[in-house]
Amino acid sequence: MFNYNPKSLKAEEFINDGEIRETLAYAEAHKNDRAMIDEILEKARPKKTGNGWNCAGLTHREASVLLACDDPEVIEKIYKIAEEIKLAFYGNRIVIFAPLYLSNYCVNGCVYCPYHLKNKTIPRKKLTQEEVRAEVIALQDMGHKRLAIEAGEDPKNNPIEYILECINTIYSTQHKNGAIRRVNVNIAATTVENYRKLRDAGIGTYILFQETYHKESYEQLHPTGPKHDYCYHTEAMDRAMEGGIDDVGLGVLFGLELYKYEFAGLIMHAEHLEAVHGVGPHTISVPRLKRADDIDPDQFDNGIDDDTFAKITACIRLAVPYTGIIISTRENETVRGRLLNMGVSQVSGGSRTSVGGYAGYSADERPHDTEQFDVSDQRSLDEVIAWLMDYGHIPSFCTACYREGRTGDRFMSLCKSGQIINCCHPNALMTLCEYLVDYASPATKEKGFAMIDAELEKITNPKVKEIAKKNIEDIKNSNRRDFRF
């Protein structure tokens, strides 16, 4: 008998190996049970309420049954419901962000990452505050408002004080009409006290990828360094929440372990956060293993194809409807385009995955020496923005909730109250307008202004519509920025 308890604070009890194995056996046994599958699909479908939408989500067992099912007709239905959820809760908006690499010094031995300690071929680099400022200006000049900072784990080179100093530099760098309004942080698992410091520094989401939920594999993939401690790593989100960070972002690196195991673990982790803290993860990222300096993805035998990857993403959308799904430039344009219709709500654009990769380089120049992984989608931000609009998605640079102190489960409340169309939607249009006026190419501007005119008409509250229209005119005709609902 195993000890599974989603409310436990012990990693091995809330991500319980026995429960995952039983879940996988249960999913295998029921994957052709059409009556059960139809019931699960019906449960996942978004339901219209008086003024908004409601969605029940799925348990890890239910979602695992869907993931195990190979019937093409069922898979099409999963995709369709994922799209329905996306449209009901997120509309046609896609939030834009960029990563900013601060330092690739790292004391860990992760076998899938070129920053691992034993890699002697990769140059080591850590940005000075002057360099951080230069990177931020370069990112602002592209049009970015939301960053995810990344740094290896190294108490000597990248202590928490260094990270805090960088956050301060980022927020205080003002250049032309630019501003970074939300800094999400992707650094190693740390203490409650350090999480409190990050909270006090005004971070948005704290992101930490689990890499794999399979403990034995985890220990083999992280043979040395503090990250070797599976429990300390897996329990990090509980410490972050204890430190006052309401928004946390989960993710596994698909390709390291068997995807069905990872998927069950990921949904169980979300259930655990909900059970203990009353709020699930703010985001889930879906990175896949990629080639880099001394890393060859073919050395790992659990790689997943594009169809499986799409199915995983859609099943996540059904299981945790109120959690944002992030896809990075690790994936190419085709894969990203496909997943945008299956529930992805955030994408990066114009990304550089090297330390100091933005300042001093033109849009088509990219330094490879300190890259963490190969960027598959190498288009500029302007090209990504134009492409999103070509497919009917509104690129959004909105950071309003975080700045208005609407953290934790605010997105769920916004959805349930039916106010998305009068809040997220105008915020998306106003921030898109800022981008178009300040940074876009003439062709992108033309597309964007036409989209804004059409989308303004969808706002249902006449007062909100009037204010949004006025703010958009102000953005076009003055340097006034940062309007928000």
By CB under 6 A, name the binding residues for ligand SF4.
106, 108, 110, 113, 115-116, 152-153, 188, 227, 396, 398-401, 411, 414, 423-424, 427
User: Among residues 266 and 414, whose Cβ is nearest to ligand SF4?
Assistant: 414
Q: Are 312 and 265 in contact (CB under 8 A)?
A: no
Q: How near is the Cβ of 117 to ligand SF4 at its closest, in Å? A: 7
Q: How near is the Cβ of 424 to ligand SF4 at its closest, in Å? A: 3
Q: What tokens appear for 134 in the block? A: 């230069």
Q: How near is the Cβ of 3 to ligand SF4 at its closest, in Å? A: 29
Q: How near is the Cβ of 152 to ligand SF4 at its closest, in Å? A: 4
Q: How near is the Cβ of 445 to ligand SF4 at its closest, in Å? A: 22
Q: How far apart are the C-alpha atoms of 119 and 135, rounded to whole Å? A: 25
User: Among residues 119 and 308, whose Cβ is nearest to ligand SF4?
Assistant: 119
State the DSSP code for 430.
H
Q: How near is the Cβ of 162 to ligand SF4 at its closest, in Å? A: 15
User: Among residues 95 and 142, whose Cβ is nearest to ligand SF4?
Assistant: 95
User: Among residues 6 and 395, whose Cβ is nearest to ligand SF4?
Assistant: 395
Q: How far apart are the C-alpha atoms of 207 and 281, rounded to whole Å? A: 10
Q: Are 115 and 163 in contact (CB under 8 A)?
A: no
User: Among residues 7 and 458, whose Cβ is nearest to ligand SF4?
Assistant: 458
User: Among residues 167 and 394, whose Cβ is nearest to ligand SF4?
Assistant: 394
User: Among residues 94 and 335, whose Cβ is nearest to ligand SF4?
Assistant: 94
Q: How far apart are the C-alpha atoms of 332 and 309, rounded to whole Å? A: 13
Alpha-helical regions (H) of 247-305: 259-277
Phi, psi of 374 (to 5 degrees): -70, 130
| Residue 184 CB partners (closer than 8 Å, separation 6+) | 97, 146, 147, 148, 149, 203, 204, 205, 206, 207, 249
Q: How near is the Cβ of 268 to ligand SF4 at its closest, in Å? A: 22
Question: For residue 301, how many other CB atoms are within 10 A of its CB?
Answer: 7
- Surface-to-core class of residue 360, CB atoms within 10 Å of its CB (0-12 exposed, 13-18 middle, 19+ buried): exposed
| Residue 446 CB partners (closer than 8 Å, separation 6+) | none
Q: How near is the Cβ of 265 to ligand SF4 at its closest, in Å? A: 18
Q: How near is the Cβ of 211 to ligand SF4 at its closest, in Å? A: 7
Q: How near is the Cβ of 400 to ligand SF4 at its closest, in Å? A: 4
Q: How far apart are the C-alpha atoms of 450 and 473, rounded to whole Å? A: 14
Question: For residue 18, how many other CB atoms are within 10 A of its CB?
Answer: 12
Residue appearing with tokens 């059904």: 318
User: Among residues 203 and 310, whose Cβ is nearest to ligand SF4?
Assistant: 203
User: Among residues 97 and 195, whose Cβ is nearest to ligand SF4?
Assistant: 97
User: Among residues 207 and 270, whose Cβ is nearest to ligand SF4?
Assistant: 207
What is the number of H-type helices and E-type strands within the chain? 20, 11
User: Among residues 69 and 326, whose Cβ is nearest to ligand SF4?
Assistant: 326
Q: How near is the Cβ of 99 to ligand SF4 at its closest, in Å? A: 12
| Residue 53 CB partners (closer than 8 Å, separation 6+) | 46, 47, 88, 89, 415, 416, 418
Buried-state track 445-474, b at ≥16 Cβ within 10 A, e below 16: bebbbebbeebbeebeeeebbebbbebbee
Phi, psi of 7 (to 5 degrees): -90, -10
Phi, psi of 452 (to 5 degrees): -60, -45
| Residue 478 CB partners (closer than 8 Å, separation 6+) | none
